[in-house]
Chain A
Amino acid sequence: PIEDLFASLSKHIQRSEFEQAAKVTDQVLRVAPGDEDAIRCKVVALIKADRIDDALSTIQSTKKVPIDFTFFKAYCLYRQNKLDEALESLKTQETNSATMLLESQILYRLGKMDACVDIYQKLQKSKIDSLEINSVAGLVSSGRASE
């Protein structure tokens, strides 16, 4: 039954066995096509298994499913260094800590350091671990190391 498949999926996720997790999501989807939890897990498992191309094609093949994959899609595009597309994708998304972090990382790669640093300054209240590492990178790269 599908409950056993989800139990197995959960076990693989806890053990960081992301390839195995992705395989189980396919088993779920054979029994229950369109299952939103399974699709979400599949995309996340593929990203965490470093299978960015496969994650993107999974997102693209699930257009009929009402899941908002905008953040995941933007993240995959960033990983593929399709930076303008990634930014474009993020623009359609409501702003939160995750989208702001990703945007700042994209801006860093694009060499837009002032915009990158601005976002890190806005994020400072949100207590994100290791944020200062990227913040310093942006400041150093923009010639504002004294800040």
Chain B
Amino acid sequence: NPIVLDLAYNFIEFPSLESRM
């Protein structure tokens, strides 16, 4: 079978915590 990458994973992102520290 052809290779399929989980590209959606790259859109699972942490929020910026800059203003919380």
CA distance A98 to B9 in the complex (A): 9
Query: In the assembled complex, which residues on chain A have CB atoms less than 8 Å from the CB atom of B9?
Result: 75
Query: In the assembled complex, which residues on chain A have CB atoms less than 8 Å from the CB atom of B15?
Result: 37, 40-41
CA distance A102 to B6 in the complex (A): 8
- The B-contacting residues of A in range 85-133, CB under 8 angstroms, are 97-98, 101-102, 105, 108, 128-131, 133
Is the CB–CB distance between B20 and A101 below 8 Å? no
Is the CB–CB distance between B20 and A134 below 8 Å? no
Minimum distance in angstroms from B11 CB to a CB of chain A: 4
Q: Chain B interface residue count: which class?
A: 10 to 19
CA distance A137 to B1 in the complex (A): 8
CA distance A48 to B17 in the complex (A): 17
Query: In the assembled complex, which residues on chain A have CB atoms less than 8 Å from the CB atom of B13?
Result: 44
A29 in contact (CB, < 8 A):
no
Is the CB–CB distance between A13 and B14 below 8 Å? yes
Query: In the assembled complex, which residues on chain B have CB atoms less than 8 Å from the CB atom of A10?
Result: 17, 21
- The B-contacting residues of A in range 35-67, CB under 8 angstroms, are 37, 40-41, 44-45, 47-48
CA distance A13 to B15 in the complex (A): 11
Is the CB–CB distance between A108 and B14 below 8 Å? no
Query: In the assembled complex, which residues on chain B have CB atoms less than 8 Å from the CB atom of A7?
Result: 21
* Listed A/B pairs (14) with beta-carbon separation below 8 Å: A6-B17, A6-B20, A13-B17, A37-B17, A41-B17, A75-B8, A102-B8, A102-B11, A105-B7, A129-B7, A133-B3, A134-B4, A136-B2, A141-B2
